[in-house]
Structure 1
Amino acid sequence: MKDREIKTTVILPVYNGLPYLKSSIQSVLTQSLSDFEFIIINDGSKDSSEIDIKQFSDLRIRYFTQTNCSLATTLNRAIALSNSDYIARIDQDDIMMPTRLDKQLKYMKQHPEVAMVGTWSKIIKDNHPTLRNHTHAISDKAIKLELLFDNPFVHSSIMIRKSVLDMVGGYCEDKSRQPPEDYELWSRISRNYKLSNIPEYLMEYREVDTSMSRTGVNPFLENVTKISSENLYYWLKDSYSLQECLQLSCLYHGFRSQQKSPSALSKRKAIKMYLLAVDKISENIKENNTEFNIIVDKQLKQIKSRFLYSYIPSFLKPLLKSLRNKVLGKG
Structure 2
Amino acid sequence: MTRVSVVSVFYNRAGLVDESVASLKQQSLGDCEILLVDDGSTDNTLERLRTHENEKTRVISGTNRGLVGALNNAIAQARGSYIAIHGSGDLSLPERLERQAEILDQRPDVGVVGCRSEVVTLQSTRPPHLVKQPFDGDAREVILDWNPFHHGEVMFRKALFEEVGGYRPFFVCAQDRDLWCRMSHHCRFLVLEDVLYRKYAKVPGSVAADPARLMLQRHLSDFALYCHRERLAGRPDPLEQFGEQGALFRPPSRELAKDMCIIGSRYAADGNLEAARTCFRRARDESGYLPARLLLAAATLTPGILLGAGEVWRRLLRLVQKARWSEARR
| Bigger mean CA offset, 100-109 vs 145-154 | 145-154
Determine whether 1:16 maps to 2:12. yes
Q: How high is the TM-score relative to the length of structure 2? A: 0.74
Structure-to-structure mapping, 1:238-257, within 5 angstroms: 246-254=252-260
* Cα distance in 2 between the residues matched to 1:322 and 1:249: 25
- On the 8 A contact 2:86/2:153 being kept in 1, the answer is yes
- On the 8 A contact 1:32/1:102 being kept in 2, the answer is yes
2:160 maps to which of 157, 164, 187: 164
**1:193 paired residue number:** 187
Q: Which amino acid aligns with 1:223?
A: L
Determine whether 1:66 maps to 2:72. no
Determine whether 1:220 maps to 2:220. no
SS state at 1:206 partner: strand
Per-residue Cα deviation, 1:173-199 (whole angstroms, up to 9, x for no partner): 12xx32111111111111232111111
Task: Please provide the CA RMSD for this pair.
Answer: 3.1
**2:273 paired residue number:** none
- On the 8 A contact 1:134/1:154 being kept in 2, the answer is no
- On the 8 A contact 2:60/2:74 being kept in 1, the answer is no
How far off its partner does 1:146 sit?
A: 4.4
1:328 maps to which of 308, 317, 322: 317
How far off its partner does 1:60 sit?
A: 0.1
- On the 8 A contact 2:136/2:189 being kept in 1, the answer is yes
Determine whether 1:314 maps to 2:309. no
Q: Which amino acid aligns with 2:78?
A: S
Unmatched 5+ residue regions in structure 1? Answer: 264-305
1:134 maps to which of 114, 131, 135: 131
Per-residue Cα deviation, 1:132-153 (whole angstroms, up to 9, x for no partner): 1222351224x44442144321
Q: How high is the TM-score relative to the length of structure 1? A: 0.74
**1:75 paired residue number:** 71
- On the 8 A contact 1:24/1:94 being kept in 2, the answer is yes
Per-residue Cα deviation, 1:110-158 (whole angstroms, up to 9, x for no partner): 11101110111101244999331222351224x4444214432121100
- On the 8 A contact 1:124/1:130 being kept in 2, the answer is yes
Q: Matched residue pairs, number?
A: 278
1:43 maps to which of 39, 45, 62: 39
- On the 8 A contact 2:257/2:282 being kept in 1, the answer is no
The alpha-carbon distance between structure 1 residues 54 and 178, as it changes in their structure 2 partners (threshold 3 A), is closer
Determine whether 1:54 maps to 2:50. yes
- On the 8 A contact 1:149/1:252 being kept in 2, the answer is no
The alpha-carbon distance between structure 1 residues 129 and 162, as it changes in their structure 2 partners (threshold 3 A), is farther
The alpha-carbon distance between structure 1 residues 235 and 259, as it changes in their structure 2 partners (threshold 3 A), is farther
The alpha-carbon distance between structure 1 residues 321 and 114, as it changes in their structure 2 partners (threshold 3 A), is farther
The alpha-carbon distance between structure 1 residues 126 and 78, as it changes in their structure 2 partners (threshold 3 A), is same
**1:116 paired residue number:** 112
- On the 8 A contact 1:10/1:39 being kept in 2, the answer is yes
**2:266 paired residue number:** none
**1:262 paired residue number:** 287
SS state at 2:167 partner: coil
The alpha-carbon distance between structure 1 residues 182 and 261, as it changes in their structure 2 partners (threshold 3 A), is closer
* Cα distance in 1 between the residues matched to 2:168 and 2:226: 17
* Cα distance in 2 between the residues matched to 1:50 and 1:244: 40
1:33 maps to which of 14, 29, 32: 29
- On the 8 A contact 2:12/2:45 being kept in 1, the answer is yes
The alpha-carbon distance between structure 1 residues 107 and 323, as it changes in their structure 2 partners (threshold 3 A), is same
**2:265 paired residue number:** none
Q: Which amino acid aligns with 1:262?
A: S
How far off its partner does 1:19 sit?
A: 1.3
Q: Which amino acid aligns with 1:224?
A: S
Q: Percent identity?
A: 22
Structure-to-structure mapping, 1:150-161, within 5 angstroms: 150-161=146-157
SS state at 1:165 partner: helix
